[in-house]
Amino acid sequence: MNKKLIVANWKMNPTTEKAAVLLAKQVDFKGVVICPPFEFLNRVGAGLKKASLGAQDVFWKEQGAFTGEISPLMLKDADVKYVIIGHSERRALGETDEMINLKIKASLRAGPKVILCVGEPLAVRRRGLSAARSFVLNQLKSDLRGVSDRRNVLVAYEPIWAISTSGTGLTDTPEKAGQMAEYIKKSLPGIKVLYGGSVTSKNAASFVKYPGLYGALVGGASLRAAEFKKIIKAAAGQ
Ligand code: PGA
């Protein structure tokens, strides 16, 4: 039985539905959330028996003239249980805290649980842990403004510089990630916190062993079935 939640963020991978369905089948375990690209949600979801389906983004309106966007009602219809909102890769493309706040509210109205990503850039972390904490707290305050019922909100703490594709080659330590999780939980009582950023089969256990960490958000390593299975196993052993 897997007590910790392991979320696979496939980002814009793989490039075919066939590969997506195959990968999902190989990592279809309890306590796992698989977030494929929108295009593969239905087919991947149809093949899942134990894992839950997640999406990587959502729009804040239910329907209408919003070319290219995906409504929270569409996610609900596709049986999506979780939606990642505010990933740093989307923030880097211009997504603001105001947009993230609207997306969170719209998702909570429609149904999917929210995985809100927060995390500081390297320049902030270099100023120290308390600077990182203030940065994250400011994001949380803006992103969750007016969201009083947070039962269906999870926070993923992802220091931007620790994400495997950030180019820094740096990783956070489980101790510091655990401390940040405690800080977030103190600021938002009752909230569940995941850690994300270069989680692999080698370090997964050392992150999720922290009682303050409810699980992990995994990018690159979730695209390799054997590697991701080891992460799931490591988390289950906690
Ligand atoms: P990573 O990505 O595991 O490849 O560092 C995590 C994320 O960006 O969510």
**pLDDT tier, 238 (very low <50, low <70, confident <90, very high otherwise):** low
Under a CB-based contact definition with an 8 Å cutoff, are residues 118 and 191 in contact? Answer: no
User: Which residues make Cβ contacts (< 8 Å) with residue 151, sequence separation at least 6?
Assistant: 190
- Which ligand 1 atom is at minimum distance from the Cα of 88? 8
197 lines ligand 1 (CB under 6 A): yes
Mean pLDDT of 150-167: 96
Enzyme catalytic residues = 87, 158
Residue with tokens 């995994």: 218
Report the distance separating Cα 158 and Cα 100, nearest Å.
Answer: 16
Under a CB-based contact definition with an 8 Å cutoff, are residues 131 and 124 in contact? Answer: yes
- Which ligand 1 atom is at minimum distance from the Cα of 164? 5
Written as six digits, the tokens of 221 are 């390593």
Which comes out higher in pLDDT, residue 211 or 84? 84
Written as six digits, the tokens of 16 are 């075919």
196 lines ligand 1 (CB under 6 A): yes
35 pLDDT higher than 60? yes
135 backbone dihedrals φ, ψ, rounded to 5°: -60, -50
- Which ligand 1 atom is at minimum distance from the Cα of 218? 3
Residue nearest to atom 2 of ligand 1 (CA): 219
Of 91, 172, 198, the residue with max ligand 1 atoms within 8 A of its CB, to mutate for a pocket test, comes to 198
Structure confidence at residue 72 (pLDDT): 98
Residue nearest to atom 7 of ligand 1 (CA): 219
| One-letter-per-residue 3-state SS of the chain | CCCCEEEEECCCCCCCHHHHHHHHHHCCCCCEEEECCHHHHHHHHHHCCCCEEEECCCCCCCCCCCCCCCCHHHHHHCCCCEEEECCHHHHCCCCCHHHHHHHHHHHHHHCCEEEEEECCCHHHHCCCHHHHHHHHHHHHHHHCCCCCCCCCEEEEECCHHHCCCCCCCCCCCHHHHHHHHHHHHHHCCCCEEEEECCCCCCCHHHHHCCCCCCEEEECHHHHCHHHHHHHHHHHHCC
- Which ligand 1 atom is at minimum distance from the Cα of 89? 8
Structure confidence at residue 146 (pLDDT): 97
| pLDDT, tens digit, 9 for 90 and up, residues 115-142 | 999 999 999 999 999 999 999 999 999 9
Q: Is 62 left (phi over 0), alpha (psi -120 to 50) or beta?
A: alpha
172 lines ligand 1 (CB under 6 A): no
Cα of 153 to ligand 1 centre, how many Å? 19
1 pLDDT higher than 60? no
88: amino acid identity, one letter: S
Mean pLDDT of 10-35: 98
199 lines ligand 1 (CB under 6 A): yes
User: What pTM was computed for the model?
Assistant: 0.97
